[in-house]
A and B are shown apart, each in its own frame.
Chain A
Amino acid sequence: MPSTLRLAPAVILGKATAVASRALRLGGGTTMPGRVARAIAPDIMQRLAVRLPQGCVVVTGTNGKTTTSRLIHHILRLAGVSSVHNRAGANLAAGIVTALVQHTDWRGRPHGKIGIFEVDEATLPAVWDPLQPRAVVLTNLFRDQLDRYGEIDLVAGRWRAVLDGRPPGDTAVVFNADDPLVSEVGGRFAGTTVPFGINDVSCGTGTLEHAADSRYCYRCGVPYEYTVVYFGHMGDYRCPQCGTRRPAPLVAAEGVQLAGIQGSAFTVRTPAGAAQVRTVLPGVYNIHNVLAAAACCLQLRVPLETVAHGVETFAPAFGRAERVRVDGREAVLLLTKNPAGFNEVLRTVVRATGPAAGVVLIAINDLTADGRDISWLWDVDFEMLAGHVRSLVVSGIRADDMALRLKHAGMSGSVMTIDGDLGHAWDAALHAARNGEPVYVLPTYTAMLQLRKILQQRGLVKGFWEE
């Protein structure tokens, strides 16, 4: 059968797979439909993507992909643009095709006007040509799951290979100016580039933390000099040897006021003017996510007022500062994936609890999606929790490793409870919380899915594919 004839069967079988996988309770069906559809029509991604009247947008990087792409989706919806979006976060090629198949009717007509795809950082080269994105958002590069992705220089190398020598075309590259490695890569693009970043020294933490990765100039190998470090290796940097410095952000945050777990308020300055925004997303890292989404949407010609309104009304993605209420108590789920992200989450928890020490549940798994190598726990600055935690429950497949890390961070055994069973650990943490006091839940990716499944069985949250 010629491949042109295979599109309809591929779409139909893909859709059937999604229905079947849910009926059989195999999970959310967020990748299998795509695998089936690609097996029938290998070029299906390109053929469905080209039918999206307003093209598509790709978001990639180590941290912030899900939140940023959901923000873009939300803002575009307010702007009256419906979208096809891999919102459950399945971000390899199969996940993208699944989203396309599910939002296409059996004759191959898409239900949305634009595609919004979060893409695994290593997968970017493979999807660029089929998707021909109008905007590519590069969020940041941190060490993350070294056993899976390899070293961040390898990922940066792949991005370089896809950007170098590419004709300008009508793609815009939106990149994080505060990340020296991402800036170096993004700045190579010959077409339109939109750097975004924070212009506010009050967000600084003073020194490069241990987990900082890209501290040496890519060209010279000498350490960057920072006038301000926001977190990880994010900041305002300059190479003393070759003079490479942070590009001036076109979309910038100024006058930042952090309100702990409640979020932050700041001014977004853009070529189209400035707007004051408030977001419920906590922490400095989420300011980058807001800027990335704002820069992308402005590039898609969404008016600044709509962007600002979208930021204000956005509710977080599952497990990203999601709040769950149980019997008058509240749990805040903060997904943790890598040292830089974990440090930001810890900083946010410490700011929120202040001198009144709180209750924290940490759940560490080492399945493939988490990264099988858990040595990264030793790059996280758990030391900052000391004095801010009254009760600490440790769970997950690698609970014992986590407990040992906390022992070396100065946490005493009297504060810690170790229970590998996540349901029991959840009960213990909620039990330790006083009325009105939130429990901070810090799970790795599969631990979060596992916990959500438990909470779903107890009727406390919805399935993630239902959102």
Chain B
Amino acid sequence: MELRICHLYPDLLNLYGDRGNLMALVHRAQWRGIDVRVDEARLGASPASGAHDLYFMGGGEDRQQHLAAADLRERKREALLDAAGRGAVVLAVCGGYQLLGHYYRSAEGEELIGLGLLDVTTEHPGPQTRRLIGNMVVRSAWLGGRTLVGFENHGGRTRLGPNARPLGTVVTGFGNNGEDRTEGAVSRNVYGTYLHGPLLPKNPALTDYLLTLALRSRHGPVALASLDDSLELAAHSAALVRATSRV
């Protein structure tokens, strides 16, 4: 069995340890004897439609996000629309999440048009408003009410439209906009979130859930063997404690 991953803009959208997400996906598949191929799609490249089971996109600074936005529409749109249609997994974090929505309006009022794979819009209220920064804990109905832990750092405020469900409810932290206690967005197998830290290594239940979905899109239903997750769970617990302590 082979898992095919497409890493979008590995050298451009790679803030906040985003490659840790790739490591978690690749290693947790390999530790179960699943072959993994990772293709990188940089600026200018157009991945072939249907070639991948999971697409990952990280976050970047404003300038990098600007460079990625136009390229995403011109070179990657087709492959990603196809992926969303056939149930392949698309996971995007922070800046990448914003670009999967309808648009991102920057602090200076400039509008970056997104792919519209998620029914969300993001607006930065302006340079004087506070960034939403800190440890975050989210409770996710997608994982049977389990917690997700990580760190958020974003200026944009994201609002969900009627066709997007939140990834979870904020327990501690700000989430999408610091107001409605939603965090992230899900539409079929397309996932967007502000959780980095990075997201996947210390949230192994989510990682395995995404792996299962991705493999299913090509190979039909699969059952993943269990792994020794003692270090993962210790890091998860430590992050829970950190998010709720005052120091």
Contact = CB atoms under 8 A, between A and B. Distances in A.
B61 A221 contact: no
Interface string A408-442: 10000100001000000000000000000000000
A404 B63 contact: no
Nearest to A373: B151
Nearest to A367: B247
A408 B235 contact: no
B2 interface: no
B137 to A, nearest CB: 14
A197 B247 CA distance: 41
Interface stretch (B9-17, B110-118, B215-223): B9-17
A210 B14 contact: yes
A375 B151 contact: yes
A408 B151 contact: no
Interface string B153-164: 100000000000
A332 B62 CA distance: 39
Contact of B15 (A143, A208, A407): A143
B23 to A, nearest CB: 5
A407 B16 contact: no
A216 B67 contact: yes
B153 A146 contact: yes
B4 interface: no
Interface in B203-247: 231-232, 234-235, 237-239, 242, 247
A267 to B, nearest CB: 34
A401 B239 contact: yes
Nearest to B231: A404
Contact-residue bracket for chain A:
35 or more
A150 B197 contact: no
Nearest to B28: A408
Contact of A375 (B63, B198, B242): B198
A285 to B, nearest CB: 21
A29 to B, nearest CB: 22
Contacts of A451: none
A322 interface: no
Nearest to A409: B23
Nearest to B197: A375
A325 interface: no
Contacts of A210: 14, 19
B133 interface: yes
Given A151-B61, A375-B16, A400-B234, A221 B196 contact: no
B102 interface: no
A376 B17 contact: yes
B231 A146 contact: no
B20 A151 contact: no
Contacts of B18: 378
B135 interface: yes
Contacts of A373: 16, 133, 151, 153, 196-197
A379 B17 contact: yes
Given A216-B67, A375-B151, A378-B23, A146 B15 contact: yes
A128 to B, nearest CB: 22
A105 interface: no
Interface string A368-409: 000011111111000000000000000001111101110110
B238 A375 contact: no
Interface string A140-175: 000100110011110000000000000000000000
A366 interface: yes
B17 A375 contact: yes
Contact of B198 (A153, A221, A378, A400): A378
A398 B19 contact: no
Given A376-B17, A377-B17, A400-B238, A221 B67 contact: yes
A407 B235 CA distance: 12
B184 interface: no
A408 B23 contact: yes
B153 A379 contact: no
Given A150-B131, A152-B61, A373-B153, A401 B238 contact: yes
B10 to A, nearest CB: 9
A418 B63 CA distance: 39
A294 to B, nearest CB: 33
B202 interface: yes
A413 B14 CA distance: 28
A390 B12 CA distance: 35
B61 A153 contact: yes
A375 B202 contact: no
Contacts of A378: 17-20, 23, 198, 201
Which of A208, A367, A403 is the most central at the interface, judged by chain B CB atoms within 10 Å of its CB? Answer: A403
A398 B151 CA distance: 13
Contacts of A367: 247
A215 interface: yes
Nearest to B21: A378
A215 B11 contact: yes
Given A150-B131, A373-B151, A397-B242, A404 B17 contact: no
Contacts of B14: 210, 379
A401 B134 CA distance: 16
Contacts of B238: 398-401
Interface of A: 143, 146-147, 150-153, 208, 210, 212, 215-216, 221, 223, 366-367, 372-379, 397-401, 403-405, 407-408, 413, 418
26 contacts: A153-B63, A212-B11, A216-B12, A216-B63, A216-B67, A221-B67, A373-B133, A373-B197, A374-B151, A375-B151, A375-B196, A375-B198, A376-B17, A378-B18, A378-B19, A378-B198, A378-B201, A379-B14, A400-B237, A401-B239, A403-B231, A403-B235, A405-B20, A408-B20, A408-B23, A408-B24
Closest 5 CB pairs of A and B: A378-B17, A378-B20, A375-B17, A151-B61, A400-B235
Given A373-B133, A378-B19, 19 more contacts: A146-B153, A147-B133, A153-B61, A153-B62, A153-B63, A215-B11, A221-B67, A223-B11, A372-B151, A374-B151, A374-B197, A378-B17, A378-B198, A398-B238, A401-B202, A401-B239, A404-B234, A408-B24, A418-B234
